[in-house]
Amino acid sequence: MTILDRIQGPRDLDALSLDERRALAAEIREFLIAEVAKTGGHLGPNLGVVELTIAMHRVFQSPRDPMVFDTGHQSYVHKILTGRRDFSELRQREGLAGYPQRSESEHDIVENSHASTSLSWADGISRAFAQTGQRDRTVVAVVGDGALTGGMTWEALNNITDDNARGLVIVVNDNGRSYAPTIGGMARFLNSVRTQDTYLDLQEGSEKLFSRLGKPGRSLYRGVRGGLHGFLSRASNNDHLFSNLDIKYLGPIDGHDLEAVEQTLRQAREYGRPALVHVITEKGRGYAPAENDEADQFHAIGQIDPGSGTPLSASSGRSWTSVFRDRIVELADQRPEIVGITAAMLAPTGLDRFAERHPDRVFDVGIAEQHAVTSAAGLAFGGLHPVFAVYATFMNRAVDQLIMDVALHRAGVTFVLDRSGVTGPDGASHNGVWDLAMLQIVPGIRISAPRDEATLNELLGEAVAINDGPTVVRYPKGAVGEDLPALRRTEDGVDVLREGSDVLFVTVGPMAQVALDAAAILEQHGITASVVDPRWVVPVADSVIDLAREHRLLISIEDGIRVGGVGTRIRQALRDAGVDTAVSELGTPDEFLPHASRSQLLADAGLTAEQIADDVAAQVRGTKIPVARPSADDPA
């Protein structure tokens, strides 16, 4: 039996010796590499927090002492130590979630996967404990140095003070990275702490002093090392930033030194007031391919060979992100006023090649989407055309800035929303299903949804040419697929992909292929359908209204939330125009979608060609047609 086999819950750690805990850390790393290689997931972040998580569960009593992980992708070790070792279906339907999830365990407090929220959660929980007389409980928030670039973190720090004696421990997991290397003033400050000569000299000197006493001295040094770290940090004046915020600073600590981390966490716990423990860790620790990867240190991976770290399967085709990556460079070469903005996601959103080509024209603002949007308004005022590339789910965080700073001021800013619609394995918080319903309420906004590579190239060019208001280009995760040529284009830019007389499918982006397949099924049963791609789905084009007059039924199809979506907008436009064609809006339900594959979730929502054809036939003829309906359990 391995040591890991003996761990069924956190309290099983209490009886382990230091040597056993070190061996456990090695076993956990071996387990993570072997298991995550099979399924894909967040590998690098978890390899970096093995010792830290062991120490936390030794010092604190989860779930009585709540642990809040920011952003949550580093919670795999926490899952293992709290009795969840079946990683065979990680991030798959019915398997372990890739982030903390309350339905899995009482040890998961916050289902967090949007950065910079943990300190606000911890502040609220600790205040509640104080108010209800539970002063013997401690809240632990683990926040990465990348998340410290987010404004919400600093709003929380401003309100976490020692005016109310309560247990709150902030662990800054400082590995110098968010997705990629962390940028900005906070990163420079932490780097100065990490590398300050005074601190390093004092640390080295203290080790040498105790070592001169021989083996007893080295044992004594290990015994007081945690306290020495706190003393040395004060001696080297590293605590001034946080002490000015009324937060006790302890560190920096070697995050892979189990003794030092445990002792410092105990010191922070006993302090009884807000304390910050600064631990230095290495993302991807113990796995050579990750340690040698300068780009993202295996932040998130697909299935890989665990020995070499190489992907097991070739890409299924050219990705939407790669198409954008190439096209934005072409446009930037042609138009010097175009600049790029990223929120700590330079390579994942495809702005990396633009930054290599024009390094002075791409700005990484850190995990600070609100700042990014308002800064973009300022850039536009100064005569530039900003392109903010961001995952659709993270655009949720800056809607106020979009409305009040960009749209109100009619600023020419283009928002490129990657991973829009249903994404799947990362779960509820990462499905980008809110953007269409959320953004179409913005006055003057124009939203486009390319269906293929050709229309993405086309629409991006059109978007950056608009300088009197915000534009949006949104596309999903994954491979682009084959181009879908239009039969014709209307004067106002709507592409007609197929023509019929009974049903009009109005599609959003790549849902055009689903509509074409549904139309082919319907034709076999005597129902003809037109399929149109508006390209610009907001505002509703006049030709869509005209085409609706010519059909008995209009079906809108979008892979976004149905409530308040594009279909709702079309229904309103038809009513305003006095068109009485029946409308059926298809989209995802107004609920949080679980982690599963994209195809499974689309099937759950009825967004497959077979399901749509079946339902449309029932509306047109009053009877269903005998078509095969795919199983929602299809893992494709």
Residues that are catalytic: 283, 369, 397
DSSP state of 628: P
Q: Give dist(CA 429, CA 111) in Å, integer.
A: 9
Element (H or E) spanning 385, and its range?
Answer: strand 385-391
From residue 357, give the alpha-carbon distance in Å to each of 328, 331, 338, 345, 610: 11, 12, 13, 17, 45
Helix axis angle for 214-235 and 258-271, nearest 10°, is 50
Q: Looking up tokens 């024209």, which residue turns up? A: 361
Across the strands, what pairs with 388? 341, 415
State whether residue 227 is helix, strand or coil: helix
What is the rounded end-to-end Cα distance, in angstroms, of the chain?
37
Per 3-state DSSP, what percentage of the chain is helix, strand, and coil (rounded to 5)?
40, 15, 40
565 and 585 Cβ atoms separated by less than 8 Å: yes
- As separate numbers, helices (DSSP H) first and strands (DSSP E) second, the chain gives 24, 18
Residues with Cβ within 8 Å of residue 138, at least 6 apart in sequence: 60, 65, 167, 168, 169, 269
Token digits for 278?
A: 């600064």
Cα 27 → chain centroid:
28
Decide: 49 and 74 in contact? Cβ < 8 Å. Answer: yes
Spatial CB neighbours of 53, under 8 Å, sequence gap ≥ 6 = 77, 78, 81
The Cβ-side half-sphere exposure at 202, using a 13 Å CA radius, reads 18
Angle subtended at Cα 422 by Cα 418 and Cα 423, rounded to the nearest 5 degrees = 65
59: left (phi over 0), alpha (psi -120 to 50) or beta: alpha
Contact 503, 477 (CB under 8 A): no
Distance (Å, whole) CA 104 – CA 108 = 7
Q: Enumerate the known binding-site residues for thiamine diphosphate.
A: 73, 113-115, 146-147, 175, 287, 369
Residue reference for tokens 């449309």: 616
Q: How many CB atoms lie within 10 A of CB 128?
A: 13
Q: Residues at the annotated binding site?
A: 73, 113-115, 145-147, 175, 287, 369
What is the DSSP code (8-state) at residue 250?
E
d(CA 61, CA 140): 10
Which two three-digit tokens encode residue 489?
């284009």
Place of tokens 């959660």: 121
Binding residue positions for Mg(2+) = 145, 175
Q: Which helix (H) or strand (E) holds 409?
A: none
Which distant-in-sequence residues (6+ apart) come within 8 Å of 450 by Cβ? Answer: 456, 458, 459, 460, 473, 475, 509, 535
| Amino acid, single-letter form, for residue 376 | A
553-561 β-sheet, strand order: 488-489, 495-498, 529-533, 503-507, 553-561, 582-588
